[in-house]
Structure 1
Amino acid sequence: MNHSQSPSDASLIERQAKEIEILKRRLLEAQKLTAMGELVSTTTHEFNNVLMAVINYARMGLRHKDEQTRNNCFEKIAAAGDRAAKITTGVLAMAKNRGDRMEPTDLSKIVDDTIVLLERELRKYRIELEFQNENAPLAMANGNQIQQVLLNLMINARQAMPQGGRLILKLSYDQANHTVDLLVRDHGTGIPADQLPHIFDAFYTTKTGPDETGKGGTGIGLAACRDIIEAHHGKIRVQSTVGMGTAFTIRIPAAAANPSATSTVSSGVPIAGSEMLPTSPVRH
């Protein structure tokens, strides 16, 4: 305690610090509920499409007596059922309250679940998605919170490409720093250099307001992302160039000293041009 501070002053400071921490937790929970609300219409519409596929192929199978047609209908129904299971699994995983507990987490599973939740929206806005998993090990993380960060970054990326474009997700392992790194790279409008140092500030936003889907524009999302990553003892970094796009990289400690590699998954072509971001990076 500073000698100039009285016990009552120290008590007040401690009480205020606790109140700030409580407000931060409530803000993160509100951000999570907001993200859930934003996804309700998207996932409900997608689930309805799956149900229509099941109903239509079941009716077709009932109308046709030949074995080949019926087998084809059964295959389509099974595929639709798998799709429905993925949608519900993604929603339930996000809704699950894991508290603040950190545990060895497969971030590739988090990415897959998040892609399922946003797939229809990305298609609607003509966003080409590429996900590369470069042999990344488990991370010490809270899966629910990391999914919240990823949802926010992917929605921001979609909004930065109003005419459509390419979104790259890349999961890799930095052996030197023993971190699992997740890159979210868009090829959109980019962020002006004078705004970059402020984008993680609470209530600061580069947007004029929420878009037609009601997403974005509050200045809360990236500040919440920063708080979540810092709570993971990780780092979040951004690079951006106007007219070329923006790249966010989150770095989270890996779970084990000698992690066992997961199977490599690559979708699309290797990343090209991901280093074409000459603007000085902002680190937090």
Structure 2
Amino acid sequence: MQSQHSSNTSHSPSGPVPAQVTVTEAVDPQHQIQYLKNELKKAQALAALGELTSTATHEFNNVLMTIINYARLGIRNRDDASRDKALSKILEASERAAKITATILAQAKNRSESMEPTDLAAIVTDSLVLLEREMRKYRIAIETQLDPAAPKVVASGNQIQRVLLNLLINGRQSMPDGGTILIRLSPSSDGNFVELVVRDSGSGIPRESLPHIFDAFYTTKDGPDESGKGGTGLGLAACKEIIDSHHGRIRVESTVGRGTAFIIRLPISKEVKAAG
């Protein structure tokens, strides 16, 4: 890094007057690049956390509104049939709230940011709990093919769930008139990886956009949807960053008008290999 200092002195009847001192520094390009990379990682992490927080908050709000509305219905109607229906719906919504709470608490207790043997099937199940109401609202059918033979992978459960939630929300947004999302989990043929596929029947991605789909700030969306999600161009870039940090791979296959598939491969836990 280089520095350049300059100063000028002017004169007045009362003597010399120092002028403003100018200091110019040439910034090391490599240092600046690393700084920008670090800032981008922070932005990506915040974007992913924002998606998760938004999803959980939205689900809780839906549950609370259901409880409130049916409680009012029970108060207004004095006949037993109406009250029984209201109480049944309140109980159903309360059980869903408890399920969501249990899912979030399990994440906090059992999943760390560190790499450890992780059950991807459990992450899929928990993610679908959080998105169940949202998918139903937008008429999205979820199909799962979770191979029980798929072993644990070396991963941060919290980070992988952020990736999965992002892909599921992207899939939902690509099908404004409803559709189907397939989640498939299976061991790779070579026995070294587990493959997680998220496939939607949506609008697809134009061929010219595919090479840039994981670039930071690149997006094919006009902005956030009505739920406030998406449109920043950070989601898929963050997904790739997370998968790369796991020594895994993520790729996309898409056909306009037929849908998109994201294929993730994560390395199997060494403990699992040793046991096998």
TM-score bracket, shorter-length normalisation:
0.7 to 0.9
Q: Deviations over 1:150-188 (max 9, x none)?
A: 111001100111100011111111140511111100001
Residue identity (%):
49
**How does the TM-score come out when normalised to structure 1?**
0.73
Matches for 1:49-128 after TM superposition, within 5 Å: 51=67, 82-92=95-105, 100-128=113-141
Taking a change above 3 Å as real, the CA distance of residues 41 and 213 of structure 1, as seen in their structure-2 partners, is same
Kindly provide the amino acid, as one letter, of the partner of residue 112 in structure 1.
T
Do the aligned partners of 1:138 and 1:259 also contact (CA within 8 Å) in 2? no
Distance 2:233 2:167 in 1: 13
Do the aligned partners of 1:101 and 1:142 also contact (CA within 8 Å) in 2? yes
Pairwise CA distance, 1:149: 0.5
The yes-or-no answer on 1:227 pairing with 2:241 is yes
- Structure 1 window deviating more from structure 2 (179-188 vs 82-91): it is 82-91
Taking a change above 3 Å as real, the CA distance of residues 216 and 75 of structure 1, as seen in their structure-2 partners, is closer
Q: Which residue of 1 aligns with 2:175?
A: 161
Taking a change above 3 Å as real, the CA distance of residues 145 and 78 of structure 1, as seen in their structure-2 partners, is same
Unaligned segments of structure 1, at least 5 residues: 65-69, 261-284
Kindly provide the amino acid, as one letter, of the partner of residue 35 in structure 1.
E
The yes-or-no answer on 1:48 pairing with 2:64 is yes
Q: Which residue of 2 aligns with 1:252?
A: 266
Q: 2:166 aligns with which of 144, 147, 152?
A: 152
Do the aligned partners of 1:31 and 1:221 also contact (CA within 8 Å) in 2? yes
Taking a change above 3 Å as real, the CA distance of residues 194 and 46 of structure 1, as seen in their structure-2 partners, is same
Q: Which residue of 1 aligns with 2:19?
A: none
Taking a change above 3 Å as real, the CA distance of residues 149 and 82 of structure 1, as seen in their structure-2 partners, is same
Aligned pair count reads: 243
Q: 2:187 aligns with which of 173, 186, 204?
A: 173
Q: Deviations over 1:198-251 (max 9, x none)?
A: 101111111121111111111111000000000000000110001100000111
Taking a change above 3 Å as real, the CA distance of residues 53 and 96 of structure 1, as seen in their structure-2 partners, is farther
Q: Which residue of 2 aligns with 1:274?
A: none
> Going by fraction, where is strand more abundant, 1 or 2?
2
Q: Which residue of 2 aligns with 1:209?
A: 223
Kindly provide the amino acid, as one letter, of the partner of residue 181 in structure 1.
E
Pairwise CA distance, 1:79: 6.2
Unaligned segments of structure 2, at least 5 residues: 3-26
Pairwise CA distance, 1:74: 10
Distance 1:82 1:258 in 2: 41
Kindly provide the amino acid, as one letter, of the partner of residue 110 in structure 1.
I
Pairwise CA distance, 1:123: 0.5
Q: Which residue of 1 aligns with 2:210?
A: 196
Do the aligned partners of 1:131 and 1:170 also contact (CA within 8 Å) in 2? yes
Kindly provide the amino acid, as one letter, of the partner of residue 210 in structure 1.
P
Q: Which residue of 2 aligns with 1:39?
A: 55
Pairwise CA distance, 1:131: 1.3
Do the aligned partners of 1:157 and 1:167 also contact (CA within 8 Å) in 2? yes
Q: 2:145 aligns with which of 100, 118, 132?
A: 132
Q: Which residue of 2 aligns with 1:142?
A: 156
Q: 1:23 aligns with which of 39, 49, 52?
A: 39
Secondary structure of the corresponding residue to residue 257 of structure 1:
helix
Distance 2:172 2:222 in 1: 16
Pairwise CA distance, 1:18: 4.7
Secondary structure of the corresponding residue to residue 184 of structure 1:
strand
**How does the TM-score come out when normalised to structure 2?**
0.75
